[in-house]
Structure 1
Amino acid sequence: MNGLIINLTHSVDDVDRTSVAIVIAGASVASSQETTVFLSSEGTRLAVTGVADTLHEEGFAPMSELVSSYIEAGGTFLVCSPCAKKRGIGEEDLIEGATIVGGASLVALLADGASSLSF
């Protein structure tokens, strides 16, 4: 892969941290890096349709703009399966560009040489 994986463990519980992560993801994909945001723990909520519309941290573009720009540029979201299940989130709840996956998917990307950041 030789791209970037951003592990995001926050969303509605820390909009500042979430905004920074998605800005970095957007910059990565805009720089022609294969970019994946892995949503785990509370981060999984960001993949639910409509949630990004409710988030806006002062000093940043609205979360809905950050997320849509990231997806339109070719970025993807992988959603931790047990984390989503714990929160009652199913495939039918997800935004375009997001997929529920098991941990093996993340491990495979890392084993392929992807760098990672965690927020």
Structure 2
Amino acid sequence: MKRISFPLVVMLVIGMVLGGLGSMMFVTASQPQVVQAHDGDHGLLVNLTTDDTWSANMALSLAMNAREQGLEPVVVFLNVRGVYLADSGRMPAKEGNSDMNIHEKMQALISAGGQVIACPGCSKEAGLTQEDYIEGVVMGEPGGIFTFLTNPYIAVMSY
């Protein structure tokens, strides 16, 4: 009869106690941990801090993909120089192989149920008001973004 090592026996017992032999998973330091998803809402906050059109195109494409995959809420937060992207007085740029300019991409995201929120402090610093923004973009309330930032079921991505 072969002998089973003590550490293996301990792992088997712990596995049976924690969830049954069939659902036991061995994890080593080099393997990524699996995190279980919450059954409620899963959202995405994209923090867009630049008016660079390449970054903006990537951020808006990511946000639209998230909406198309059913994430809710999906918010693009225009922060620092990012507020200039939604200025209706600026010529909206196209980037890469996109068939829409930045304003059209924002409005498409909003039409798909996403939100585009401009930082109120950054807007003030840039000399922009709610009236300056393209249709559908809203100026946030001071501290209002914390609702999204502190929600454990909303991922945050920055560009």
Considering only aligned residues, what root-mean-square deviation do their CA atoms show, in Å? 1.7
Higher relative contact order (CA closer than 8 Å, sequence separation 6+): 1
- Which protein is richer in strand relative to its size? 1
Name the residue aligned to 1:78: 117
Any stretches of 5+ residues in structure 2 without a counterpart?
1-40
**Fraction of identical pairs, as percent:** 28
Name the residue aligned to 2:44: 4
Separation (CA, whole Å) in 2 of partners of 1:50 and 1:72: 21
Separation (CA, whole Å) in 2 of partners of 1:103 and 1:56: 31
- The amino acid that maps onto 2:76 is V
Work out whether residues 50 and 81 of structure 2, in 8 Å CA contact, stay in contact via their aligned partners in 1.
Answer: yes
Alignment of 1:29-68 (within 5 A): 29-33=67-71, 34-49=73-88, 51=90, 54-63=92-101, 64-68=103-107
Q: Larger C-alpha radius of gyration, 1 or 2?
A: 2
Name the residue aligned to 1:115: 155
- The amino acid that maps onto 1:105 is G
Alignment of 1:74-113 (within 5 A): 74-113=113-152
- The amino acid that maps onto 1:23 is S
- Going from structure 1 to structure 2, the CA distance change for 1:7 and 1:103 (only over 3 Å counts) comes to farther
The answer to whether the aligner puts 1:15 opposite 2:53 as a matched pair is: yes
Any stretches of 5+ residues in structure 1 without a counterpart?
none
- Which protein is richer in helix relative to its size? 1
- State the TM-score, normalizing by the size of structure 2: 0.66
